[in-house]
Amino acid sequence: MSEKIAPPESKRSWFAQLKAGLSRTSNSLTENIAGVLTKRKLDEETLDELEEVLLRADLGMAMADHVREAISKGRYDKGLTAEDVRSVLATEVARVLEPVAQAFTLEASAKPHVILVVGVNGTGKTTTIGKLAHQFDNDGKRVMLAAADTFRAAAIDQLKIWGGRVGAEVVAKDVGADPAGVAYEALERAKAEGRDVLLIDTAGRLQNKGDLMDELAKIVRVLKKLDANAPHSVVLVLDATTGQNAINQVQIFQEIAGVTNLVVTKLDGTARGGILVAIAERFGLPINAIGIGEGIEDFEPFDAHDFARAIAGAGRENEAAA
């Protein structure tokens, strides 16, 4: 097993990282909002165009309607600056996100707390598991990982690498092994060794939804033979760069696996970071963390106000904007 990694010596503040990560989204929004407002006074046509700008950022129809209503209220015939719109946007985004911005909590009675991690291949699922394991390890928890994505050798190898980096034991079999069997053995060992957390990686092939549903259902079924309450959490990892397709993924994995928590990744690689807002408004699922980079520290509990300020292009010092 390789040496556990040491934390970086210096690190930008999380808000600075978040703002930089969301810069593509906020810059696009700011430019498009400014472009609309320089054309004419605030009238129905201008409001329609502002609404379209918000929709193109994947903020969702509900959020676009909220912002439009807030802007219109008492200001219909008055001039409006881009800063005014950003302030309203930050306020509305924070309002929607506050109820779902929840830190990940472990059940005290669960030994171990079993976390089934699901998501489409390529979303950063295995990396997210490594980052979660690192956080739990920092909190003094004893963590075990299970490589139940036995369809791809790369997934197994990647999880082993992360296990080495964070100092967590990895239960893995050869490619083609029964995923449920891997999960069962991992939970047996985690219980026997008194582990606090068991993170289970799973396959994310949606080409044949029926097969995936059967596979995940079998994993849940065998886990319950050892712990009637397992899995205690089902975490869906979403790639923000997929935009509206991320909403479809939430729907599918809700049906397949009964998702309880969300983690959103790759927010630094898209101009469509608003999709997180649309997902929050539509599903109301707890968003535990967001990823804005590949580094093990580029992963933090989700903060509604920081996100709202960053996506609207406002600084932390501008508290009125959130």
Helices then strands, each counted (H, E), the chain: 12, 8
201 is in an annotated binding site: yes
DSSP character at residue 263: E
138 is in an annotated binding site: no
229 is in an annotated binding site: no
Instruction: Report the candidate in 265, 224, 216 with the shortest Cα–Cα distance to residue 241.
Output: 265
What is the DSSP track for 26-68? HHHHHHHHHHHHTTS-SSHHHHHHHHHHHHHTT--HHHHHHHH
21 is in an annotated binding site: no
Given a contact cutoff of 8 angstroms between Cβ atoms, the answer to whether 321 and 314 are in contact is yes
Q: Which run of H or of E encompasses 99?
A: none
267 is in an annotated binding site: yes
Given a contact cutoff of 8 angstroms between Cβ atoms, the answer to whether 301 and 288 are in contact is yes
306 is in an annotated binding site: no
205 is in an annotated binding site: yes
Amino acid type, 8: P
122 is in an annotated binding site: yes
157 is in an annotated binding site: no
239 is in an annotated binding site: no
Which strands make up the sheet holding 287-291, listed edge to edge? 169-171, 143-147, 197-201, 113-118, 233-239, 261-265, 287-291, 299-301
119 is in an annotated binding site: yes
167 is in an annotated binding site: no
Give the dihedral sign, CA 124/128/129/134.
positive
204 is in an annotated binding site: yes
**What's the longest Cα–Cα distance across the chain?**
69
Distance from C-alpha of 62 to C-alpha of 55, rounded to nearest angstrom: 10
Distance from C-alpha of 20 to C-alpha of 58, rounded to nearest angstrom: 19
Binding-site residues sit at 119-126, 201-205, 265-268
Binding-site residues for GTP sit at 119-126, 201-205, 265-268
